[in-house]
A and B are shown apart, each in its own frame.
Chain A
Amino acid sequence: MLHPTPTLKETPSQTGGPYVHIGMTPNFCGITGVIDADLGSTMINGDVEGERIVICARILDGAGVPLHDGVVEIWQADAKGSYVAPMRPGSNSMPAFTGWGRQPANAEGIVTFETIKPGRVEGPDGKLMAPHVSLWIVARGINIGLQTRLYFADEAEANKEDYVLNKIMDPRRRETLIARREGGPEPRYLLDIHLQGDKETVFFDI
C-alpha cells in the first residue's frame, strides 16, 4: 500500500508552562468576566442515559510530588459507545453529554470529572474495546502533551480482551491504566498517574 508523503511538518509542541491555567481554565485562576464558564468544566447538561460516575485522577512526578499545576482533558464515548456531536461554547445548545472534559489539578494533583461510564467502542480489529476514557496531560515541565487511557477495575472480563491493553507486553504495566472503584451512590474511580518511577504509567505514541 502506498502512502503519500506529508507536504508540511506538524507545528512543534512546546510546554503549556506554569500558567497553563490562564489559557485553559481562566475562571479557575481568577480571570473572570472574559468567558462565562471554563470550557469543559461540565460534561453533563441534562438528561443523559448511562451510569453517573466520578473519575479522580491523581498525577505524581518522579519524586512523588503532586502535579498541582497541570491540566487534564478527557475524551470518551457515551453509554452506547458513540462519540458525540459538536459542542457550542457558551451557548445553550450543548449536547446533553459532551464526551469531553477539562479540569485543572488541585493542590493534591487531583483532577475530578463528573461523567458517565462509557460504553464499548469498536477497535481496529473489529472487536469491542473495553470501556475506557482517553486522557491528555499538559503542565510545566511536559514538553509535549502525554496521552494515556483510563480503564475500569470492574470490567475485568472486557479488559482482558482489550485491543490496547493487550499491546502492553508487561501485565504489571497494564495495571497502571486501571482505575479502582470506590462504591457509593455515585461510584468513584480512582487512578494514580505516575510520570516516572516503579509504577510509571504507560503513555502512548498515538
Chain B
Amino acid sequence: MSGIILPGADGVLYQRDRAWHPPADTPGYKSTTFRAPRHSLLALGPTKSELTGPTFGHEKLGPLDNDLIRNFSQDGTEAIGQRIIVYGQVLDENARPVPGTLVEFWQANAGGRYRHKKEGYRAALDPNFGGFGRAIADENGFYHFRTVKPGAYPWPNGGNDWRPAHIHFSVFGQAFAQRLITQMYFEGDPMIWQCPIVGTIPDRAAIDQLIARLDRHNTTPMDALAYRFDIVLRGFRSTMFENKLEGN
C-alpha cells in the first residue's frame, strides 16, 4: 500500500482545475482590477523545478507555535475570545494523506481586529493575541491548533462590506506547484454568502470545501469547541515508485 506521495517524485501532477478556483479578475472584489493578469496563463507541464519544493522538519517547531491563545501572551494571560480547536487532514487529490507538510495560519482577534499597522477597524486589539501560528502535519497528514474564534470585520471594498469570520491558511505540500493559500470559514455563518471574496469562487460546491464543520466529538469539555477543516492539495497522477509497488 503506497500511502504517501514522494517528494520530488518524477510523477506528473493533475492539471489544476482553474474553473474550481477563482478567476484572476473578479469585479466584486475590487482589488483584483489592477492586479489580475490580462493574458491567459501559459500552460507549462511541470518540470523538476516545480515537482520539487521546500520541506520542513518537526524538530524545533516551538511548543506554542500551534497555540494562538498563548503564543503572543505578554504576561502569561491567555487571549480573549471563544476558545476553539481547529484540526484537519491534509490530503492530495488521490485522497492520500500528505504527511510532514508545513501549515501556517493567521487571523483577526475575537473582535475582528488584526494586529497590523494598516488595519483601520476600530475594534480593540487584544494585547495577548498576535494572530499567527503554524503546525506540521503528522504521519497521517493531521494538523491541529488552538485559537480563539475570529470576529467578522468591515473592509473597504463596496460601501459596507464585511468579511465573515475566517482563518487564512498557507500550505506547502512537497512540490512548489502544490503551493496553496486559502481561507477557512465556519459552519452555519450567514455572513459567508454575502462576502465578495468568497464570491470570487464560481462554484458553490467549491465554497463548501472551505467551510469547517463543527465537531462536537472532538470538543474539549469546559474548554474549547472543535472545528474540522480538511485541505486537499494537487496530486500526482502516478509515480514510478507506486507502479513498482503495485507490480506493474
Contact = CB atoms under 8 A, between A and B. Distances in A.
Interface of A: 3-4, 6-24, 26, 29-31, 33-35, 39-40, 61-63, 65, 67, 69, 73, 75-77, 83, 86-91, 93, 98-100, 121-124, 129, 132, 134, 136, 138-147, 149, 163-164, 167-168, 195-196, 200-206
Nearest to B102: A89
B232 A90 contact: no
A22 B54 contact: no
B177 interface: yes
A23 B104 contact: yes
A204 to B, nearest CB: 4
Contacts of A75: 49, 52-54, 176
B55 A8 contact: no
B71 interface: yes
Interface residues of B, number: 94
B59 A134 contact: no
Contact of B106 (A19, A35, A93): A19
A9 B206 contact: yes
Given A90-B62, A143-B24, 6 more contacts: A4-B94, A9-B93, A10-B232, A34-B64, A77-B49, A144-B21
Contacts of A3: 237-238
Interface in B206-224: 206-207, 209-210
A90 B64 CA distance: 13
A9 B209 contact: yes
A40 to B, nearest CB: 8
Contacts of A34: 62, 64-65, 71-72, 130, 132-133
A23 B72 contact: no
Interface in B36-55: 36-39, 41-50, 52-55
A86 B57 contact: yes
B24 A19 contact: no
The main secondary structure of chain B at its interface with chain A is loop
A92 to B, nearest CB: 8
A86 B55 contact: yes
A31 B21 contact: no
Interface in B17-34: 17-18, 20-24, 26, 29, 31-34
Contacts, number: 281
Interface string B117-155: 111000000000011111000000000000000000001
The main secondary structure of chain A at its interface with chain B is loop
Nearest to B104: A23
Given A8-B94, A10-B20, A35-B62, A196 B31 contact: no
Contacts of A33: 72, 130
A134 B218 CA distance: 40
A178 to B, nearest CB: 15
A21 B31 CA distance: 17
B106 A141 contact: no
Contacts of A11: 180, 182, 209-210, 231-233
B209 A206 contact: no
B18 to A, nearest CB: 7
Contact of A10 (B35, B93, B116, B131): B93
Contacts of B23: 143
Contacts of B18: 205
A203 to B, nearest CB: 5
B17 A9 contact: yes
B180 A140 contact: no
Contact of B35 (A7, A136, A139): A139
Nearest to B168: A23
A171 B134 CA distance: 43
A55 to B, nearest CB: 15
Given A132-B49, A143-B26, A12 B37 contact: no
Contacts of B200: 14-15, 143
A124 B233 contact: no
Nearest to A195: B35
